[in-house]
């Protein structure tokens, strides 16, 4: 007897974004995995405000998925997006409100209930009927939509990344951000995939109710485009000449870019290095120049900004070494990408980064300038060690593969 197929509704909202952020890439790789399974019937969900953007992308860069049908509760989700949905109990717990405000809240809730009933009766019949056949709702990052929560028989699976807005106060999010909405929706009855052991501990630390939740480890992997590539096409395109050390990051304080740059300059001055520059990719050049660097310090730094995917493997592969000493990461894909390209790595000994790099890179205290300098010196003066670490990185990166994901075992 043929095994019954699983009807899976995949939240493709993040794929509607105009830029390829880390979560976008994870969603894309997971979707490719799901497409390979014969026992899964795939359908897309997309929030109504992103639906037009998603449909446009399904005609271009996401064309491989253009035949997947979209189920969308346009009317009800738009009510929610316009702020007509309000969690009365939660708002009361958050702060006291005057009588007038409480009456307004009750009125909003009453209006929502009336509109929802109208929606269910006249606008939502097709959507509700479509959901009755769904077995699993899978979200690569966002909270479960209000309209799907009410279908108890649908299993909810969500990928959790990190708690940066909670662990790092400077990143505090608004109450309406996607992360805040996700946190409000965390539910021990849902199923979760967590990208590192560290991240799992952090979520349980900040949300103890998840201690007994169904949480599966789901380490990320580098895309298949990241592999050793010694071609030099990138040099003319990015105007890079000679030998270079590389970092790929933005100017967020936790990325520790200022420490990486200043310690590189200390290394250059201490050792009178004349044949090496520090290449900074991925960050906004205008924001970078607002950092407190003098002209003399900047002469050892080269900003290249955003780098196209087609050049990334070459850029990693030809670097002398890669530096990524972030203060906090839920996983940390750039060091893994560098290792997959055979580039020696220096990274932090904090958060999830040791899980990713293991003993295949130099791990240091991210806040120590001296440890940065010594790591630079080790790679610069010891070519044999540098080559050894490059080979260890290649072997380490093979342990992280999208082809071997345990995700499908739990769906």
Whether residue 186 is found in the same domain as residue 284 = no
Cβ neighbours of residue 321 closer than 8 Å, sequence gap 6 or more: 245, 246, 343, 344, 345, 346, 376, 379, 386
Residues 392 and 254 in one domain: yes
Count the neighbouring beta carbons within 10 Å of the beta carbon of residue 233: 11
DSSP-based three-state secondary structure for 42: strand
Distance CA 143, CA 157 (A): 10
Q: Tell me, what DSSP letter sits at residue 120?
A: I
| Residues 54, 172 share a domain | yes
pLDDT tens per residue across span 269-305: 999 999 999 999 987 666 666 665 566 667 789 999 8
> In this structure, what CATH number is given to the domain that contains residue 201?
3.40.50
37 and 186 together in one domain: yes
Does residue 299 sit within a domain? yes
> Strand pairing partners for 41?
7
| 175-181, long-range: CB < 8 A, 24+ apart | 178/141, 178/142, 178/143, 181/142, 181/143
206 and 258: one domain?
Answer: no
Domain assignment present for 173: yes
Cα–Cα separations (whole angstroms), residue 216 to 100, 145, 202, 220, 274: 46, 22, 14, 13, 49
Task: Work out how many domains the chain is built from and give that number.
Answer: 2
* One domain for residues 66 and 207: yes
CB distance 217 to 200 below 8 Å: yes
Instruction: Tell me the CA distances in angstroms from 17 to 25, 33, 242, 308, one per residue in order.
Output: 11, 20, 36, 17
- Mean pLDDT over 24-38 rounds to 91
Average pLDDT over residues 20-32: 90
DSSP string over 364-376: E-TT-HHHHHHHH
We report the CATH number of the domain holding residue 253 as: 3.40.50.2000
Tell me whether residue 227 is in a domain.
no
Residue span of the structural domain in which 111 resides: 6-221+405-410
Residues 298 and 217 in one domain: no
pLDDT at 257 over 80: yes
pTM of the model: 0.82
72-86, 140-154, 289-303, 325-339, range with greatest mean pLDDT: 325-339
199 and 239 part of one domain: no
How many Cβ atoms are within 10 Å of 259's Cβ, its own excluded?
A: 17
């Amino acid at each position: 007897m043929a095994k019954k197929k699983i009807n899976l509704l995949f939240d493709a909202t993040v794929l509607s974004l105009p830029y390829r952020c880390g979560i976008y890439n994870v969603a894309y790789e997971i979707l490719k995995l799901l497409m390979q399974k014969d026992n899964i019937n795939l359908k897309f969900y997309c929030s109504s405000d992103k639906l037009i953007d998603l449909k446009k992308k399904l005609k271009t860069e996401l064309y491989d998925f253009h035949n997947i049908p979209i189920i969308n509760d346009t009317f009800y989700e738009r009510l929610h997006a316009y702020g007509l949905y309000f969690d009365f109990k939660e708002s009361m717990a958050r702060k006291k409100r005057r009588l007038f405000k409480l009456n307004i809240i009750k009125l909003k809730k009453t209006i929502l209930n009336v509109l929802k009933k109208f929606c269910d009766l006249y606008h939502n019949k097709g959507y509700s009927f479509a959901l009755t056949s769904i077995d699993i709702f899978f979200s690569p990052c966002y909270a479960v939509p209000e309209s799907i929560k009410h279908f108890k028989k649908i299993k909810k699976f969500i990928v959790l990344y990190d708690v940066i807005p909670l662990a790092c106060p400077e990143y505090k999010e608004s109450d309406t951000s996607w992360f805040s909405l996700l946190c409000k929706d965390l539910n021990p009855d849902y199923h979760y995939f967590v990208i590192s052991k560290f991240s799992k501990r952090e979520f349980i630390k900040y949300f103890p109710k998840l201690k007994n939740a169904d949480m599966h480890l789901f380490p990320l992997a580098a895309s298949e485009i990241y592999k050793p590539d010694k071609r030099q096409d990138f040099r003319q395109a990015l105007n890079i000449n000679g030998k270079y050390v590389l970092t790929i990051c933005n100017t967020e304080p936790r990325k520790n870019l200022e420490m990486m740059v200043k310690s590189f300059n200390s290394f250059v001055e201490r050792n009178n290095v004349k044949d090496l520059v520090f290449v900074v990719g991925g960050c906004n050049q205008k924001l970078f120049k607002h950092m407190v660097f003098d002209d003399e310090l900047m002469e050892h730094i080269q900003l290249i900004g955003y780098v196209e995917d087609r050049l990334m493997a070459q850029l990693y592969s030809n670097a002398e070494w890669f530096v990524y000493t972030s203060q906090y990461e839920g996983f940390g894909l750039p060091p893994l990408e560098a290792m997959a390209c055979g580039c020696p790595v220096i990274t932090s000994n904090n958060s999830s980064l040791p899980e990713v790099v293991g003993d295949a890179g130099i791990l240091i205290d991210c806040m120590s300038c001296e440890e940065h300098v010594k790591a630079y010196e080790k790679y610069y003066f010891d070519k044999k060690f540098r080559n050894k670490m490059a080979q260890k990185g290649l072997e380490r990166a093979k342990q992280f593969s999208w082809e071997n994901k345990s995700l499908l075992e739990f769906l």
